[in-house]
Amino acid sequence: MKRREFITLLGGAAAWPLAARAQQATKLPTIGYLGSATLATESQRMAAFVQRLRELGWIEGRTVVIDYRWAEGRTERYAEIAAEFVRLKVDVIVTVGGAVAAAKQATATIPIVFAGAGDPVGSGMVASLAQPGGNVTGLSVQSIDLAGKRLEILREIFPDVRRLTIIGNVEYAATVLEMGEAQAAARALGLEVARSEIRRAEDIAPAFEALKGAAQALYVCPDATINANHARINTLALGARLPTMHGVRDYVEVGGLMAYGPNLPDLYRRAANYVDKILRGAKPADLPVEQPTKFDLVINLVTARALGLEMPATLLARADEVIE
């Protein structure tokens, strides 16, 4: 081997440890993404989040690491995943709804951004919308405030409805609040109201058995358990000849009659704005909780025909999307 080649090789070998140390010194920031349901049910929202991060300069695998975990609708998994993120020392945790409480219990120092929460103040996630305090902030979905509007729309297409059942997972605090608001709104419309309380996926089928003959329409309160089982719920509702009102667009894509609520991909895009600010040094306590600005009314005409319902032309004209 020539002397010059040997010196070059030796110099390169000496540089290897330096390169390795430099790579360690510039460790990429890590986002812990705690999905409440599954990748299949949350793919559109997740894609909106990742795309917005890219627009802000955070490119997965190049300038940021995103560590995904999926609870698959099992609320008992929240604490386990949150604890794992704490052990991994992620820089920020992104999650939604009921998983926020588990993340908050796991850490008081790692910033937590929720892409959607039913009642962040009432459920104790933040001190106030304007001044969240602590290590948690994000976006409210205003699901409770929209309960009355959803029932007005349901009544518009089904004026003869008299008996309504509200189904939801009462293990989620925001669902309990929404059920109460929906009950009050239904009674104000002169409806007889019943509650169908579930706590786990295994409670869904028995709940529908109890509904037979007792309800004419079904109001579905969204949460992780419902989200992971929404196709099954719609199948059971269709079998029971029950029109369904949802708060999440995705539920209508798989057989639900209609949904009215915030545009979730838009909320996840805006959650990326929070992450960007936090990774650049902002504190969650200084970032006010924001509310939705885009709302979608989605109607499934295929389901309407299967139920023998005629949708008013005025309502179809107002819809943001009609599935045919």
To which residue do tokens 């939705």 refer? 292
Report which residue type is found at 305: R
What is the model's pLDDT at position 119?
A: 83
The pLDDT assigned to 26 comes to 72
Task: Tell me if 208 sits within 8 A of 235, measured CB to CB.
Answer: no
Specify the pLDDT at position 223: 87
Taking the CA of residue 165 as centre, how many other CA atoms within 13 Å lie in the half-sphere pointing to its CB? 22
Q: 257 to each of 38, 174, 237, 238, 310, how far by Cα in Å?
A: 22, 23, 10, 9, 12
| pLDDT value of residue 233 | 95
Per-residue pLDDT tens listing for the chain (324 residues): 444 443 444 444 444 444 334 444 578 999 999 999 889 888 999 999 999 999 999 999 999 999 999 999 888 899 999 999 999 999 999 999 889 999 999 999 999 999 998 889 988 899 999 999 999 999 998 777 799 999 999 999 999 999 999 999 998 888 998 999 999 999 999 999 999 999 999 999 999 999 888 899 999 999 888 988 989 999 999 999 999 999 989 899 999 999 999 999 999 999 999 999 999 999 999 999 999 999 999 999 999 999 999 999 999 999 999 999
| Cα gap 269→288, rounded to integer Å | 16
Token pair recorded at residue 65 = 């690491």
Kindly list the structural domains of the chain, giving each domain's residue range(s) and its CATH number in brackets, ordered by start.
25-141+264-292 (3.40.50.2300), 147-262+296-323 (3.40.50.2300)
- pTM passes above 0.95: no
Task: List phi, psi (to 5°) of 261.
Answer: 180, 180
Give the model's pLDDT for residue 228.
Answer: 86
> What is the spatial distance between Cα 234 and Cα 218, in angstroms, rounded to a whole number?
10
pLDDT given for residue 209 in this prediction: 92
